[in-house]
Chains A and B, each alone.
Chain A
């Protein structure tokens, strides 16, 4: 296949993957929440409620997209797209399996984090542009939260990059091949704090994707729906999809950096299956956490980042570089 044809096929595939995941993660979320809460969850539309996301999608698409009076219409309409597009672009460089990657970029990791920061801008201008006080409070929260959590996240990622000596995601996975003891999360010879680093990455991922218990941006008992309060129909739908696409990206990066990508620990079903299994396990944990804990308070959230996560990840970075220098 020619190169443009291959890229086009991957583009369609990625958009389909992102949209399907967004739709069905909502189902997983609702079904999971149902079982955590001793109820059934969606069950009316299709078997096990499996057609529920389609019904929801049709409902959202047929609703009118209302731009509130006095809102900045351009920013208001641009915001959902600015959340969704970077997430889709980030999929380009994710290696799902050997050869199953749209484009191998040698600074792939850097690219993902660059695009992940744009999503925050989307929520910010959405909250600002909708001319709603709750939206503005939410926008202000999102920015300070994301600045606070990007620091420990990137410090952790730098630690991994120092060990692997590459930004190339394909190469990072290839280094971890051959059994789970080669995975970065268990690579205690490089740094004994690697499991802690994984935990920090996971917590930061929750915060970066605005998931509970760090869902400051859409804290519904305080801010109604925060930056999304004024959005109706697909405006809200695209925000929602973008949010889930960001969770998928976060889980993919965690899988690649720490859990060995598509490396198969048990010797059966090699290839893309293991990547998806690991990714969905992380996503399931994200859902689990959401329905277990109460929301943190904003200053506790910032304190956690600046007083605990950043010092630990900084220490880990120094320790790793020292160990690399010695050995």
Chain B
């Protein structure tokens, strides 16, 4: 992208934001053409941690590739695990026992809450407030302990298997999940008191960083970014997968399209996820947690796609099978990539500080963008 400065009075300079910068949360680099503190244009530069995940998916058997998708987004790893596993199940025609579906939902929603909590802390950190991060980590820690007890990992979970989950959960886990729901419901009003309703925060976010639904459509932005622009689109409701159709939950959306709307969407989603976890813990049936699946999977030739709602938006896996043990083509559609794409257009003419607040409200995870 070249910037032609036609106005001779406009004195611009290029500011290199990143790849090492406190606000980019990883190795994202943004080339900013600035006029004073105002941004004339912005161009994200990607590829610093590209690992060729899709190519890896084409060179390994389906089971061998299983640990990779959770590595894309280390914060909501289970959604990625779920998306890949469900795509392969659709391709190979595997039926999943109902208990396993419930366990998947509980774990994925817990992971979503953990991801949103970390985003909450990091976002306020971007705005210059340090303390909420530690409170959010305190709550997130409870989820990590719970998930550690069933998955054995604290960050890059790989718990779901083709046809079910790795092993069954015990009553302690379900009781722990319920206790967490209770605890988090008591903590959420405190978050709103101390952070959401803080006047400085509202002044920083309200009417700033506008993203229209049209802009989301153009760049393919999904998740809280889209819902913050007034479109109540969520894969869990639009194309219910797993057992999501059995639960009563709402899709929060705010029409304002500013950074504050995206903030409130995520805070409301925490509450909605808690509702799902509570219902799933009550309804979970007994039974097997893993279907009989052949050792080597050979899906029939064809083109398969499955999308799930990850914490940052729609995560889709497209598998083109040629009937062998390895995929002919493995396409991973990750939400942050599309969400970042609109940053350049959305931040034009904004102040540097506001643009970084906008970037924080997009909730970017860089390994997922670079894949």
Contact = CB atoms under 8 A, between A and B. Distances in A.
A224 B128 contact: no
Interface in B113-166: 124-131, 133-135, 138
Nearest to B128: A295
A294 B124 contact: yes
B15 interface: yes
Contact of A297 (B21, B133, B351): B351
Interface residues of A, number: 28
A219 B128 contact: yes
B130 A293 contact: no
A221 B131 contact: no
Nearest to A225: B22
Interface string A20-43: 000000000000010011110000
A95 to B, nearest CB: 36
Contact of B352 (A37, A39, A222): A222
B127 A37 contact: no
Contacts of A137: 37, 352
A222 B198 contact: no
Interface stretch (B86-94, B181-189, B199-207, B210-218): B199-207
A44 B203 CA distance: 40
A33 B130 contact: yes
Interface core residue of A36, A133, A213, A294 (most chain B CB under 10 Å): A294
Contact of B131 (A141, A220, A291): A291
A292 interface: yes
B13 interface: yes
A221 B127 contact: yes
A327 interface: no
A252 interface: no
A175 interface: no
Nearest to A220: B22
B203 A300 contact: yes
A37 B356 contact: no
B322 interface: no
Contacts of A294: 124, 127-129, 198, 200-201, 204
A215 interface: yes
B179 interface: no
Interface residues of B, number: 29
A293 B37 contact: no
Contacts of A286: none
Contacts of A212: 128
B134 A39 contact: yes
A222 B15 contact: no
Given A37-B134, A215-B128, A297-B353, A221 B37 contact: no
Interface string A139-157: 0110000000000000000
Nearest to B25: A221
A294 B198 CA distance: 9
Contact of B15 (A133, A213, A291, A298): A133
A121 B353 CA distance: 24
A299 interface: yes
Contacts of A213: 128, 200
A189 interface: no
Contact of B200 (A141, A215, A293, A299): A293
B354 interface: yes
A133 B135 CA distance: 34
Nearest to A296: B200
Contact of A293 (B126, B198, B352): B198
A141 B36 CA distance: 11
Nearest to B355: A222
A294 B138 CA distance: 20
B23 interface: yes
B203 A224 contact: no
B356 A222 contact: yes
12 contacts: A137-B352, A213-B200, A221-B356, A222-B353, A291-B131, A293-B129, A294-B128, A294-B200, A295-B127, A295-B129, A296-B203, A300-B200
Q: Which 4 A-B pairs have the closest CB atoms?
A: A295-B128, A294-B129, A37-B134, A294-B127
Given A137-B352, A220-B22, A222-B352, 14 more contacts: A37-B131, A213-B200, A219-B128, A221-B126, A221-B128, A221-B356, A291-B130, A291-B131, A294-B124, A294-B127, A294-B128, A294-B198, A297-B204, A300-B204
